[in-house]
Amino acid sequence: METMLLDENKLDIAVELIKRGEVIGIPTETVYGLGADASDENAVRKIFQAKGRPADNPLIVHLADFAEAEKYTESIPDIAWRLSEKFMPGALTIVLPKNNRIPLITSGGLDTVGIRVPAHPIMQRLIELSGKPISAPSANKSGYPSPTTAQHVMRDMSGIIPAIIDGGECQYGVESTVISIENGDTIRILRPGFITPEMLGTVSDNVIVDKAVLAGLETGEKASSPGMKYKHYSPSADIVIIESDLEKFTEYVGGHYGEGVYSLIFDDDTEKFPYRYMSYGKDSQEQAKQIFRRLRELDDCQAVRVYVRSPEKSGIGLAVYNRLIRSAGFEVIRL
């Protein structure tokens, strides 16, 4: 199969493919996705095959408007409506009890479904023109860093899917914030993203960051979100996070330097840093936008081991840290 790269003037081809039950690469404001009709079991099966994704890891369902969620869920608590008014369209996914219009294959066997209303204009038009709910995981091969350009998707999915819509580089660079709702108005963050705990705190006084956001699960422990139990976002290079100031970081890298050793540092560090490096921005927002791209580029450079300066664990930094500790297999060194 030859994979077509479509621009937004060729959206009619993409719409036709979705209606025919095919899987295509789609741009969103967070990362690129692998989209297909969420209500079509065969189409959804193709997503799992293309990614090599475990069958128990549920897909997010993308809708043009949150009000459409009434068609696919059992009930919507008040707080979900309030969250939707404030943050949708945008980088927020709300887990709700699903009804039988969402097949179990889409929800990974769960009785809930994650609903997201993407802000990207191409995604908005694709959903509206196809008239379908679109399930879409990130468009990487399972376990690899998420794609933030159409070219990244091409690298992972060329010959596997019929088309990719090129919508340019993703605005945010990390995936949506995934939340569930407990006891009426408690918000549990299952995966941090651009919608931060602080922002969610403007809608509810009770915001919990799930313990798996910042740490690995213990053996045998049950994940509130299946995606959290898998090794994730991992390039071939061995990633190690170092929590320290620049001086100690530099000293540590010097003591462990050699062929294939790279560092991933902040833009402001570069002047004083004497070793091989890439930099990933000067604040959390830039780090979020660049992190997956840099992890892929480090593989292109045949990096063997990468020491990463730890991002902040608050605000958008929490999302960056959450992705990095998974790509590092939870290897964090505190100096």
CA 12 to CA 18: how far, in whole Å? 10
Which structure tokens are listed for 212?
């798996």
Q: Which does 31 bind (CB under 5 to 8 A by kind): ligand TXA, Mg ion, none?
A: ligand TXA
CB of residue 51 to Mg ion, shortest distance in Å:
8
CB of residue 25 to Mg ion, shortest distance in Å:
14
Applying the rule CB under 6 A, the residues between 72 and 131 that interact with ligand TXA are 93, 95, 107, 110, 112-114, 116
Measured from the CB atom, the residue of 210 and 250 that comes closer to ligand TXA is 210
Long-range contacts (CB closer than 8 Å, 24 or more residues apart) made by 50-53: 50/23, 50/157, 50/160, 50/161, 51/137, 51/139, 51/140, 51/141, 51/142, 52/141, 52/142, 52/143, 53/137, 53/142
- Give the single-character DSSP code of 73: B
Measured from the CB atom, the residue of 173 and 249 that comes closer to ligand TXA is 173
The answer to whether 30 contacts Mg ion (rule: CB under 5 A) is no
Measured from the CB atom, the residue of 122 and 303 that comes closer to ligand TXA is 122
The answer to whether 315 contacts ligand TXA (rule: CB under 6 A) is no
CB of residue 335 to ligand TXA, shortest distance in Å:
31
Burial bucket for residue 216 (CB in 10 Å: 0-12, 13-18, 19+): middle
Q: Write the DSSP string, 215-233.
A: SPPPTTPPPSSGGGGS--S
CB of residue 26 to ligand TXA, shortest distance in Å:
7
One of 25, 58, 162, 317 touching ligand TXA (CB under 6 A): 58
Spell out a b/e string for 281-314, using b for 16 or more CB atoms within 10 Å of the CB, else e: beebbbbbbbbbbbbbbbbeeebebbbbbbbebe
One of 138, 149, 180, 284 touching Mg ion (CB under 5 A): 138
Measured from the CB atom, the residue of 263 and 322 that comes closer to ligand TXA is 322
The answer to whether 188 contacts ligand TXA (rule: CB under 6 A) is no
CA 300 to CA 178: how far, in whole Å? 30
Give contact residues for Mg ion (rule: CB under 5 A).
138
Binding residues for ligand TXA, rule: CB under 6 A, are 28, 30-31, 33, 57-60, 93, 95, 107, 110, 112-114, 116, 136-138, 175-176, 178, 190-191, 225-227
